[in-house]
Amino acid sequence: MTNEKFYFKQEEPNRSCLLAMREILLGFNENISETTKYGMPCFCFKGKQFCYLWIDKKSNHPYFLMVDGNKLIHSELKARDRKRMKILSVDPNVDLALSTIHSVFEEAIALQVGSAI
């Protein structure tokens, strides 16, 4: 499944929300690229997995699934039952919290850049 099919098979308002989330990711840093892993849109920073986009089965809300989220300490990130990754939930019916999203991305990129040294 290509990512385009993933996005366009979603019902509104999730479709528009996921497409906006995608644009935020791709516009955040020139080193972020998109691919598909495990049937999910996967975003990489300099070729290393950075985050995924997915939809919560219970709430039916999209979320950012942050790779190595267990190393991130942002208050909006939730681990739930995951050991390595954390999620940043998004309500598709309200404006995206860009300052929160950017803050999480900045922390995640800093982590990846720091681990490459």
Residue 112: count other Cβ atoms within 10 Å of its Cβ.
19
Number of domains composing the chain: 1
Query: b/e string for 74-103 if b means 16 or more Cβ within 10 A?
Result: beebeeeeeeebbbbebebeeeeeeeebee
C-alpha atoms less than 13 angstroms from C-alpha of 94 in its C-beta half-sphere = 5
pLDDT tier for residue 4 given thresholds of 50, 70 and 90: confident
Residue ranges of alpha helices (H) inside 1-117 are 3-8, 14-28, 98-115
Three-state secondary-structure class, residue 44 = strand
Token readout for 50 is 């950075």
For the entire predicted model, the pTM comes to 0.92
> Each residue of 83-116: pLDDT tens digit?
899 999 999 999 999 999 999 999 999 988 876 5
pLDDT for the residue numbered 117: 44
Q: In which domain, by residue range, is 27 found?
A: 3-115
pLDDT tier for residue 1 given thresholds of 50, 70 and 90: very low
> Each residue of 12-71: pLDDT tens digit?
999 999 999 999 999 999 999 999 999 899 999 999 999 999 999 999 999 999 999 999
> Each residue of 67-90: pLDDT tens digit?
999 999 999 999 988 889 999 999
Query: The domain that contains 12 carries what CATH number?
Result: 3.90.1150.200
Asked if 50 and 43 count as a contact pair (C-beta separation under 8 A), the reply is yes
Contacts of residue 50, Cβ cutoff 8 Å, sequence gap at least 6: 32, 43, 44, 66, 67, 108, 109, 112
